[in-house]
């Protein structure tokens, strides 16, 4: 795979300045670690996403979609092929009685926009630091709400670049998963069905959830949020806490003292530090409680 050749072929398909070679991803993801993308593209229109996706598919070049990188760890060797980051597609508005938001809009901002419009239903998302695309992919949820409860439909493309609208059962919702885990579709736009509400009550709910989050989570450090899925009938954070792992460090990665379910990037952690600490936590919890912790966070890319 010749990176310069791919770069040259992609140039006419995408707005100038939105395409780079050997781009460091560390500063472009919430976790603040990881290596380079061979090719990095930040499309500004849906058509550009379609063109890049169709190009990658035709030439069998790996294509990785990134939102805000708040649920991924990118290994230190980086990501081969094309990384398509949605950060420049941030529009939102009201159309046909639905709140629509483009894939790269931060779900926190969409939740704030719903408040401005006097619409209730997205309060749960007011502190989730991901994009709309990432939130659909993960069926993101918090404090009793989940994306699946408020999503009406989504505009997506398939690997050939064809536009489709998904609705209802087509999302195949599960706990922190959806049809998007197949890697088959790219989310372009979400349409949320929200109800009219009292702005004061919506704001009060968001303030309450923000207070809960700030008092329990180590938001002053980069991280990927809760590293592990909730094991059946248990809480990962509690098992980690009871295993005495809080404060354990590998390199710059540390099991948070504030919330045991978080591993923070405390001091310029490498992905290798972070993944090493995940493995350490998993084996300690397995040994102590005979519970296999499964990661919620996705690990992408190659080792150095
Ligand atoms: C401090 C903190 C708190 C958090 N709290 C919560 C919480 O309360 N609830 C919760 O559910 N999560 C939480 N998370 C995790 C994370 O924010 C969510 O999972 C979020 O939805 C991920 O969005 P993202 O844009 O960062 O996705 P990324 O991490 O960039 O990507 C995640 C996955 O989504 C895919 N993806 C991204 N965009 C698209 C797209 N347009 N089309 C198709 N696939 C796409 C990527 O390929 C990747 O597989 C938290 C994380 C942090 C750091």
Pocket test for ligand 1, best of 134, 150, 229 (most atoms within 8 A of CB): 134
The Cα diameter of the chain in Å comes to 56
**Exactly one of 32, 80, 176, 213 is catalytic; which is it?**
176
Pick the CATH number of 3-85 from 3.20.20.80, 3.30.43.10, 2.30.30.30, 3.90.45.10: 3.30.43.10
CA angle (188, 225, 200) in 5-degree steps: 70
Q: Closest Cα to atom 12, ligand 1: which residue?
A: 140
Q: Closest Cα to atom 4, ligand 1: which residue?
A: 225
What's the topology of domain 218-300? 3.90.78
Which residues line the pocket of ligand 1, CB cutoff 6 A?
30, 65-72, 86, 103, 128-131, 133-135, 137-138, 140-142, 180, 186-187, 217, 219, 223-225, 298
Q: What is the pLDDT of residue 142?
A: 95
Identify whether 23 is a catalytic site residue. no
Identify whether 176 is a catalytic site residue. yes
pLDDT band at residue 1 using 50, 70 and 90 as cut-offs: confident
CA distances from 109 to 98, 136, 149, 261 (A): 16, 15, 18, 25
Q: Closest Cα to atom 43, ligand 1: which residue?
A: 186
pLDDT per residue as tens digits for the range 221-248: 999 999 999 999 999 999 999 999 999 9
pLDDT per residue as tens digits for the range 29-79: 999 999 999 999 999 999 999 999 999 999 999 999 999 999 999 999 999
pLDDT per residue as tens digits for the range 152-190: 999 999 977 899 999 999 999 999 999 999 888 999 999
Q: What is the pLDDT of residue 160?
A: 76
> Distance, CA 190 to ligand 1 centroid (Å)?
15
CA angle (283, 129, 70) in 5-degree steps: 40
Give me the residue spans of the domains in the chain.
Answer: 3-85, 92-201, 218-300
Q: What is the pLDDT of residue 105?
A: 98
pTM of the complete model = 0.96
Ligand 1 nearest-atom number relative to CA 72: 29
> Distance, CA 148 to ligand 1 centroid (Å)?
14
**Average pLDDT over all residues of the chain:** 96
> Distance, CA 8 to ligand 1 centroid (Å)?
31
pLDDT per residue as tens digits for the range 201-221: 999 999 999 999 999 999 999
What does the alpha-carbon distance between residue 107 and residue 92 come to, in Å, rounded to a whole number?
A: 11
Identify whether 226 is a catalytic site residue. yes
| CATH code linked to domain 92-201 | 3.30.465.10
- 3-85 shares its CATH topology with 92-201: no
Q: What is the pLDDT of residue 16?
A: 85
Q: What is the pLDDT of residue 183?
A: 86
Location of structure tokens 């950060």: 87
Q: What is the pLDDT of residue 192?
A: 98
> Distance, CA 138 to ligand 1 centroid (Å)?
6
pLDDT band at residue 132 using 50, 70 and 90 as cut-offs: very high
């Amino acid at each position: 795979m010749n990176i310069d050749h791919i770069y040259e072929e992609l140039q006419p398909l995408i707005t100038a300045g939105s395409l780079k070679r050997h781009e460091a991803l560390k500063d472009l993801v919430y976790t603040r670690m990881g290596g380079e993308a061979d090719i990095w593209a930040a499309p500004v229109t849906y058509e550009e996403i379609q063109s890049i996706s169709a190009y990658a598919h035709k030439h069998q070049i790996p294509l990785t979609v990134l939102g805000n990188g708040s649920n991924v760890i990118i290994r230190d060797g980086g990501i081969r092929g094309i990384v398509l980051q949605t950060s420049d597609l941030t529009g939102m508005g009201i159309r046909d009685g639905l709140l629509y938001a483009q894939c790269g809009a931060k779900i926190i901002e969409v939740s704030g926009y719903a408040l401005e419009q006097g619409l209730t239903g997205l309060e749960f998302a007011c502190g989730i630091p991901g994009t709309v695309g990432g939130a659909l992919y993960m069926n993101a949820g918090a404090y009793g709400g989940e994306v699946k409860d408020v999503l009406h439909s989504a505009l997506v493309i398939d690997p050939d670049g064809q536009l489709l609208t998904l609705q209802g059962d087509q999302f195949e919702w599960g706990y922190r998963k959806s049809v998007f885990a197949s890697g088959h579709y790219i989310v372009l736009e979400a349409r949320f069905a929200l109800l009219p509400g009292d702005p004061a009550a919506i704001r009060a709910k968001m303030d309450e959830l923000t207070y809960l989050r700030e008092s329990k989570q180590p938001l002053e450090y980069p991280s990927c949020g809760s590293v592990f899925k909730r094991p059946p009938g248990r809480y990962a954070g509690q098992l980690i806490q009871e295993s005495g792992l809080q404060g354990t460090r590998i390199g710059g990665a540390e099991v948070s003292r504030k919330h045991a379910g978080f591993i923070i990037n405390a001091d310029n952690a490498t992905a290798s530090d972070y993944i090493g600490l995940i493995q350490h936590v998993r084996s300690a919890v397995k040994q102590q409680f005979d519970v296999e912790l499964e990661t919620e966070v996705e690990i992408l890319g190659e080792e150095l």
